A and B are shown apart, each in its own frame.
Chain A
Amino acid sequence: MSQLSLNTGLKSILTARYMLATIGHNIANANTPGYTRQRVEIGNDPPISLGGLLLGSGVSASNVQRSVDSLLNRRILTQVTVSGRLESQLVGMTEIEGLLGELDGQGVGGLMDSFFTSISELSTNPDDAILASGVAQAAVTLSAQFNGISNNLSDLKRDTTAELGVRVEEVNLLADQVLALNLEITKIEASGSTANDLRDQRDVALEELSRRVDTRVIEEANGAVRVLVAGNTLVSSARVYELSVTQTPGGDPAIEIEGSDGFVPVSGGTIGGLLRMAGSFVGELSSEFDQLAHNLILELNRLHSTGVPASGGFSNLTGSSAILDLDKDGDLRDELLSNAGLPFDVSSGVLLVNVNDETTGDVDQHQIQISETHTTVGELLDALNDVPNLSADLDSFGRVRLLADGGFTFDFSAKLDQNPDAIGSFGGGRASLGTGEEPFALADGDTLDLTVPAGGTSLSIAFNTADFADVNAATAAELAAVINNDPGAQAVGIVAADVNGRLILQTLAEGSTADFTVDGGTVLGALGWAGFAGSTVTGHDNAVEAKIAGAYTGDGDDVFTFVPNMDGTIGTTPGLIVDVFDATGNKIASLDVGEGYTPGEELAVAEGITVSFGLGDLSATHNDVFALDVVEDADTSDVLVALGINSLFVGTDASDIALREDIELDPTLISTSVTGSSGDNTLLLDVLGLQNQGVEGLEGATFGRFYGDTIGNFGFELSSTVDAIGANDSLQASLGLLREQVSGVNVDEELVDLVKYEQAFQAASQFITVVNELNDELLNLL
């Protein structure tokens, strides 16, 4: 009996001690992260049957339990994953926000504005070298900002990738830790007890793991956990599959796991955030800047390359983009222009080349047809070399180099041919006979019989099927080629030309002594010259000089054809009118040059173009005509932009955009107009107009709009991240509080327990004393 009581007292004391020890442990760990409050589970011991009585046998501690809500813990793990991702994104985004420098005017947007402002200033005085330097300076600053952002973004990507490596290493270490703890926990718990503190440690490790990657934790019956990362096993019961950093084919970082092919689609945690930053986020942002820079280069160069500086044309120019030997045959000339490794696309179109005679001021205008599918580098060079007084070749880097002969300059502007009737088919000095418009229905073997000069040598020119693509629909160009190649015609000085689809037959000699007689021939009918058989065509002493002035303001390219309505003398014959037709045959102007017209007086044609006629005779009978090419865009093929000839910016995107080096050295090389007049600012005004134009390569947005959207979207991303972090933080805080409610240590509570168990201990001690005294009493009886 006393044995039982003593035993009960002992158990009571022991239990109180256990309690006190646990309270001490709790108080000691009140501030330990991840610590879970422990409780000693106590129970009254089964009674002992003694003398027909069931006597209680005291208390005993059965187990030390953790106060844990495992469901809550799982939710916290998820939340930690989210906040890990958001926080790592926030760091990167905040860094980017700083380097964009926007809202202080130091960002790309503000610098673009400054650049256009400098252009506007230059436009008020296009030949001012200081204002031109201002443009160069603004262009350099803008380029530098683009380069800076591009560099910073790639630095960010590199640093982020490096950080990823560190984080992945941490994940692997944490996984090792979890595995080690698994082993210990299963070992301990196999014996039936709970490995409370080890479990706490494992919970901490799992939380750290979840902060880094999105995990799924599965607890097994033996107390071990398996950890899955995005569906792949990271920690199994036996081993850890290590994560490592690798690269996607696109150059973005990615995560691999041991023993499995392919990438692990980590989307959460610090690693998920870093992956997103280094991958799509920085990628998209820098590609938006690249897109902006690319289109800025393209659109500005499109205008600039077809302009002329205030100082006039160029004596030499070298392209900034090199031709690449893509077919690797050691020959650059056979590369297709549209596939020669050039940074901008070459499409089918026309390039206008002007060669200016610096002494006479004459402009020699040539058109070079460029085909996207056919034209090679060599063909372009040949075509350029065919332009008189201009030579072209490739330098050692494979860049196109252009050089004008001494006393000549060249440019690519859409200027007007001021003297469009160079051959004099419009009342010129030469004896000249024209046809109507092509095609001409010839027959094989048709002949043209002439006597040149009248009463002189007779000749017969034969036209054969072989000379024409379709002899029944011969073109003026084909006919002219036959005539010009005819030795007989060459001997007597007869030439032919194609004036916008009309054949012109002329003497080389000029003046009233130059003449030829149309004797006959079977071709006359097809050319509409039947009425001229036997008649003589004579040249003029007073050649009509048609001078063009103004600038073409119309849309698209066109050809204006000028024809007189009757035979007559300019300024003299009543009713003499020059009709002007556009390429589609619509009459766009009727110019009265008859009686009352003062030779040399300027007359408005259309679309900003004026013409003046000098004294002389015009003949509608002889089909006098001249054609004027009016060009809106002097380079519809963009070949100049692609080759970087006369460009303002070089480079292709934000990383390498730069002001052309020789412009940086000499800012007066900036194109200001198409005429090269010192005060002409038309090109600069066009550049200013770019600001308000939708750009094709920017999905129709203006430069400013596109940039604003980029910044706005970025701001949205960042602010929504900040907001999400705020929301997540408070959610996490409340989850944390909930956990603290269950698992946290309240020191006051422990103190109360402390007092309680201290007293229990004292009571048990007292009980033992009493039992002892009772025993002593009994012993004394002996």
Chain B
Amino acid sequence: MTLRISTSSNYSRVLMGLRLNQGRLIRSQEQVATGRSLLRPSDDPIGATRALSLTGRIEGVARFRGAVVSGLNAVDSAAASLGSGSQLLAEARELILQGMNGTLAQDDREALATELEVLRRELVDLANTQAGGRYLFGGTLTNQPPWVETTVGGLTRVTYRGNEEEQRIQIGADVEIAINVTGSSIFGKSEPAGAVFDGLTGVQSGLTADEGSGYEYLHLRHDSTDPGAIGTVGLALVNGGADDTILNAQDLVIDAAAGTVQLGNGVVRNIPLPGDPDLADFTIANELGGELHLDFTGFTGADFNGTVTGNGSISLDGTNFTAIDFSETDLELKNDATGSVLHVDTTAVGRAGKETVTFGGSLNLFDALQGVVEDLRNADGLDQQELVNRLNVRLEELDRGGANLRVGLGVLGARSARLQSADARLQGVDLQLNGLLSETRDADLSEAVLDLMQAEQTLQLAQATGVRLIQTTLLNFLG
């Protein structure tokens, strides 16, 4: 038996065919127009989940790349500043070497000091470099200048107000990298060591450890001179010894036969003869330069071998003086303004003067430079050799500082390289993920166009055949 086909089913069949083919055509057209095969989650739920996870990961990579770019910016700015800082230090070194030249007049030294002062300021400015509104060398305290010039106990100091923290950024799922070097590690770090004196007065470090930062001045003041037995050979102190700078018990030896006089291990001098202009105020110094003023007017001409004692006081802050007991090996001195505690051994003290105390572990480059400036201005009236000695100490400090600066430069360079390689790697990952996403989500255009054409053709065929099917009826022939 043949199938019965109802007329209306003919129509609906044709209609269904048209609808189906039109749907296909529209779907293909949509794919071609958007370039995507995955437009809604229902198109391919698994693919949609995958595409979501991929877009999330691509966003993550973009995020990491953003962090890398901003990190590179900070690291490179910091490195540029340190590069300039390194040059500044080289210039400063040159100037200090010039200052050590013995033939230089005080005026020239002043000029050098002024120049160094300028360099120091520039260095402070560099240490306070900002990039994008934040300070680069203050640890995580980025909103305030990390290095601030202050006056501590009458001394010009630059102090660090930043912290020691690293600023880290995330450049991978579990990869963090620090993008800063702290100011203290670059400009203010040196190897921990005990307090160091520049060796002017013969004061030495005491037994107990010290506490303090940067450098300070230790004042050794001459208060009075005990002439001992010098009266026995007709000698007297000039003006009660007010201009004397000797401290501690010093041997005075007069060798009448040789016509010489010597204080401690100082330079042997000839006894002034009557008529000598210095006769009433003859200055003799010990090995440290501690001076004793003697009046030789009534000199008996006899040999003498006795002790002259300079009494004095010592102070760390320049205000509160304590009388020196020259047998003390662990005298505690404090500077309440700075909080420093210093322990000194005064047994070898030989002269009065202003001694620089450099505390271990915390001297910064700026203060070292400031020290050079102060030394060059020579407010303390140091003699040539002492000045050179002090400048040598400063030079060492500067060189140490320079080394730290170069270490910092190296660290930053390495980070910059790491960031760049991370960027390259992220770029690769980005490409790969985008490729995967495109594979998951995008339409194969040639295929989609082919589909489109096919759908178009099928629709046309369906239309053509549909028309013929509908038109065919017995009515055409009945008449």
CA distance A600 to B210 in the complex (A): 10
CA distance A707 to B48 in the complex (A): 12
Q: Which of B45, B168, B441 has the most CB of A within 10 A?
A: B45
A748 at the interface (CB under 8 A from B): yes
Known pairs A569-B209, A677-B139, A712-B46; A748 contacts B66 (CB<8 A) = no
Contact partners of B38 in chain A: CB under 8 A: 103
Q: Is A114 a contact partner of B59 (Cβ separation < 8 A)?
A: yes
Contact partners of B176 in chain A: CB under 8 A: 685
- B335-393, CB < 8 A from A: 341, 360-362
Q: Is A124 a contact partner of B71 (Cβ separation < 8 A)?
A: yes
Q: Which of B46, B53, B170, B180 has the most CB of A within 10 A?
A: B170
Contact partners of B478 in chain A: CB under 8 A: 751, 755
Q: Is A747 a contact partner of B474 (Cβ separation < 8 A)?
A: yes
- Contact for B7 among A127, A599, A748, CB less than 8 A: A748
- B1-31, CB < 8 A from A: 3-9, 11-13, 16
Closest CB of chain A to B168's CB: distance in Å?
A: 7
A-B CB contacts (within 8 Å), total count: 242
Q: Is B63 a contact partner of A549 (Cβ separation < 8 A)?
A: no
Q: Is A677 a contact partner of B141 (Cβ separation < 8 A)?
A: yes
Contact partners of A97 in chain B: CB under 8 A: 40-42
Q: Is B56 a contact partner of A109 (Cβ separation < 8 A)?
A: yes
A681 at the interface (CB under 8 A from B): yes
Closest CB of chain A to B23's CB: distance in Å?
A: 10
CA distance A708 to B168 in the complex (A): 30
Closest CB of chain B to A159's CB: distance in Å?
A: 21
Q: Which of A110, A678, A685, A718 has the most CB of B within 10 A?
A: A678
A620 at the interface (CB under 8 A from B): no
Closest CB of chain A to B45's CB: distance in Å?
A: 3
Contact partners of A681 in chain B: CB under 8 A: 140, 167-169
- Contact for B209 among A103, A124, A570, A711, CB less than 8 A: A570
Q: Is B360 a contact partner of A598 (Cβ separation < 8 A)?
A: yes
Chain B 434-450 interface 0/1 with A at a Cβ cutoff of 8 Å (1 = within): 00000001000000000
- Contact for B3 among A113, A598, A741, A751, CB less than 8 A: A741
Closest CB of chain B to A201's CB: distance in Å?
A: 18
Contact partners of B63 in chain A: CB under 8 A: 116-117, 120-121
CA distance A128 to B341 in the complex (A): 41
Chain A 685-712 interface 0/1 with B at a Cβ cutoff of 8 Å (1 = within): 1001001100000000000110111011
B163 at the interface (CB under 8 A from A): yes
CA distance A93 to B40 in the complex (A): 12
Among the listed stretches A290-298, A525-533, A732-740, which one makes contact with chain B, having 4 or more residues with CB under 8 Å of it? A732-740
Q: Is A678 a contact partner of B341 (Cβ separation < 8 A)?
A: no
CA distance A59 to B142 in the complex (A): 112
- A591-641, CB < 8 A from B: 595, 597-602, 610, 614-615
Closest CB of chain B to A135's CB: distance in Å?
A: 13
Known pairs A105-B55, A744-B9; A719 contacts B43 (CB<8 A) = yes
Nearest A residue to B74 by beta-carbon distance?
A124
Contact partners of B441 in chain A: CB under 8 A: 103
Nearest B residue to A610 by beta-carbon distance?
B164
Chain B 172-213 interface 0/1 with A at a Cβ cutoff of 8 Å (1 = within): 011010001000000000001110000000000001111101
Q: Is B341 a contact partner of A615 (Cβ separation < 8 A)?
A: yes
- B289-321, CB < 8 A from A: none
Known pairs A103-B441, A128-B133, A678-B140; A741 contacts B6 (CB<8 A) = yes
Contact partners of A599 in chain B: CB under 8 A: 209-211
A746 at the interface (CB under 8 A from B): yes
- Contact for B67 among A123, A600, A711, A722, CB less than 8 A: A123
Q: Is A30 a contact partner of B211 (Cβ separation < 8 A)?
A: no
Known pairs A571-B209, A685-B170, A740-B5; A679 contacts B41 (CB<8 A) = no
B85 at the interface (CB under 8 A from A): no
- Contact for A113 among B5, B8, B59, CB less than 8 A: B59
- B135-170, CB < 8 A from A: 135, 138-144, 163-165, 167-170
B475 at the interface (CB under 8 A from A): yes
Known pairs A125-B134, A747-B474; A675 contacts B140 (CB<8 A) = yes
Closest CB of chain A to B363's CB: distance in Å?
A: 12
B265 at the interface (CB under 8 A from A): no
Q: Is B210 a contact partner of A719 (Cβ separation < 8 A)?
A: no
Q: Is B4 a contact partner of A103 (Cβ separation < 8 A)?
A: no
Contact partners of A716 in chain B: CB under 8 A: 45
A742 at the interface (CB under 8 A from B): yes
Q: Is A549 a contact partner of B41 (Cβ separation < 8 A)?
A: no
B62 at the interface (CB under 8 A from A): yes
CA distance A97 to B40 in the complex (A): 7
B287 at the interface (CB under 8 A from A): no
B49 at the interface (CB under 8 A from A): yes
Q: Is B143 a contact partner of A127 (Cβ separation < 8 A)?
A: yes
B242 at the interface (CB under 8 A from A): no
Contact partners of B193 in chain A: CB under 8 A: 598
A780 at the interface (CB under 8 A from B): no
- Contact for B49 among A124, A600, A712, A752, CB less than 8 A: A712
Contact partners of B134 in chain A: CB under 8 A: 125, 127-128, 678-679
Contact partners of B3 in chain A: CB under 8 A: 741
CA distance A310 to B5 in the complex (A): 81
CA distance A542 to B333 in the complex (A): 11
Chain B 33-63 interface 0/1 with A at a Cβ cutoff of 8 Å (1 = within): 0000011111111101101110110011011
Q: Which of B5, B52, B70, B208 has the most CB of A within 10 A?
A: B52
Contact partners of B163 in chain A: CB under 8 A: 549, 677
Q: Is B48 a contact partner of A746 (Cβ separation < 8 A)?
A: no
Contact partners of A102 in chain B: CB under 8 A: 41, 48, 52
A359 at the interface (CB under 8 A from B): no
Q: Is A751 a contact partner of B41 (Cβ separation < 8 A)?
A: no
Closest CB of chain B to A418's CB: distance in Å?
A: 11
Chain B 104-148 interface 0/1 with A at a Cβ cutoff of 8 Å (1 = within): 000000000000000000000000000011110011111110000
Q: Known contacts A103-B39, A681-B169, A719-B42; can you find 10 more A-B pairs with CB under 8 A?
A: A113-B59, A598-B193, A679-B140, A679-B180, A711-B48, A736-B12, A740-B6, A744-B6, A751-B474, A755-B478
The 4 closest A-B pairs by CB, nearest first: A744-B6, A571-B209, A715-B41, A679-B142
Enumerate chain A interface residues (CB-CB to B < 8 A). Answer: 30-31, 37, 93, 97, 100, 102-103, 105, 109-110, 113-114, 116-117, 120-121, 123-128, 310, 542, 549-551, 569-572, 595, 597-602, 610, 614-615, 673, 675, 677-682, 685, 688, 691-692, 704-705, 707-709, 711-716, 718-719, 722, 733, 736-737, 740-749, 751-752, 755
Instruction: Please name 28 pairs of A and B residues whose Cβ atoms are closer than 8 Å in the assembled complex, sorted by A.
Output: A30-B6, A102-B41, A109-B52, A113-B60, A114-B59, A116-B63, A120-B63, A120-B67, A121-B70, A124-B70, A127-B143, A542-B332, A569-B209, A675-B140, A678-B134, A681-B168, A704-B52, A705-B53, A708-B52, A708-B53, A711-B48, A712-B46, A713-B45, A715-B43, A715-B49, A740-B5, A742-B4, A748-B473
